[in-house]
């Protein structure tokens, strides 16, 4: 039995983060952190895709392209936003503390690997020879597309809003942000659940489906609970005394429009 490709992916993932951690620590900068995240997703999924010889199956190709498109778009967008703003406030304390910085870069390695879980399983262990896509794959890809468009539109709306001088110091409550306080996070959570569905519908064993669910569950926890609480706290500190913001919070759900 050969060395599992998924293990190679994990090693490369960690190696990328450690390499750029050194550069980040020396330069005391965070400006390429998110770009490296996108690069890591593309590199890791490409290793799994090509080393497992999955480049001649429609299911694998679509799954691979979806991840690469998302990673390239988000990585470049976040890098542009940080370079435009001049800094990433999240890293003000982290980038001058080597231990915190090392933990953060390793956290990105975990984020990349666990998020890719369902597709890594698909590429490594699914029997795809001669199989056409099932209805489940089309459902999953449709959900991915919905989530991707939601994330892209929300990010663009906020970028345009913040770019207008008259909106300086204001919170965004228009467009998708009028029905969800964090539509970009909703989009990302949705798209990963879509790719999970498209991946696991080829497996008949229930335990494969449960283990692969670690991916979207991890994304949901990371964004829907951990990151969301941090952003809400930050917004409360900035706009807490603003009556308009309090009204916005009372009328607009935190994540899923009209539900949660």
Q: Give the mean pLDDT per block of 10 residues along the chain (260 residues).
A: 88 98 91 94 97 88 97 94 78 84 95 97 83 85 98 97 93 96 97 96 86 96 92 91 93 92
Q: 238: which 2 tokens?
A: 């900035």
* Closest by Cα among 78, 69, 259 to 180: 259
pLDDT given for residue 161 in this prediction:
96
Q: 78: which 2 tokens?
A: 């976040």
pLDDT given for residue 129 in this prediction:
67
pLDDT given for residue 185 in this prediction:
97
pLDDT given for residue 56 in this prediction:
81
Q: Could you give the CA distance from residue 9 to residue 236 in angstroms, rounded to a whole number?
A: 40
pLDDT given for residue 124 in this prediction:
92
DSSP string over the chain: -PPPHHHHHHHHHHHHHHHHHHHHHHHT--TTHHHHHHHHHHHHHHHHHHHTT-TT-HHHHHHHHHHHHHHHHHHHHHHHHHHHHSS-GGGTTTTT-HHHHHHHHHHHHHHHHHHTHHHHHHHHH---TTPPPPHHHHHHHHHHHHHHHHHHHHHHHHHHHHHSGGGTTPPP-SGGGGT-S-HHHHHHHHHHHHHHHHHHTT---HHHHHHHTHHHHHHHHIIIIIIHHHHHHHHHHHHTT-HHHHHHHHHS-SSSTTT-
pLDDT given for residue 133 in this prediction:
78
């Amino acid at each position: 039995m050969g060395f599992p490709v998924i293990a190679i992916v994990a090693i490369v993932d960690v190696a990328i983060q450690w390499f750029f951690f050194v550069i980040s620590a020396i330069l005391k900068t965070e400006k390429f952190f998110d770009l490296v995240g996108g690069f890591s997703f593309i590199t890791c999924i490409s290793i799994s895709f090509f080393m497992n010889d999955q480049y001649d199956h429609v299911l694998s190709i679509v799954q691979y392209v979806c991840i690469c498109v998302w990673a390239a778009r988000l990585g470049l967008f976040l890098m542009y936003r940080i370079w435009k703003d001049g800094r990433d406030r999240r890293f003000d304390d982290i980038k001058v503390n080597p231990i915190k910085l090392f933990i953060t870069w390793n956290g990105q390695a975990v984020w990349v690997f666990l998020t890719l879980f369902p597709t890594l399983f698909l590429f490594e262990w699914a029997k795809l020879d001669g199989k056409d896509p099932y209805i489940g794959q089309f459902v999953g890809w449709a959900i991915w597309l919905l989530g991707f468009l939601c994330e892209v539109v929300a990010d663009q709306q906020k970028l345009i809003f913040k770019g207008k001088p008259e909106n300086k110091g204001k919170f965004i409550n228009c467009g998708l942000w009028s029905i969800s306080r964090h539509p970009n996070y909703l989009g990302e959570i949705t798209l990963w659940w879509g790719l999970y569905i498209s991946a696991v519908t080829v497996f008949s064993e229930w335990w494969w489906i449960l283990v692969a669910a670690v991916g979207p569950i991890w994304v949901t926890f990371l964004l829907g609970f951990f990151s969301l609480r941090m952003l809400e706290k930050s917004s409360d500190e900035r706009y807490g005394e603003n009556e308009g913001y309090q009204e916005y919070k009372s009328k607009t759900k935190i994540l899923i429009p009209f539900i949660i």
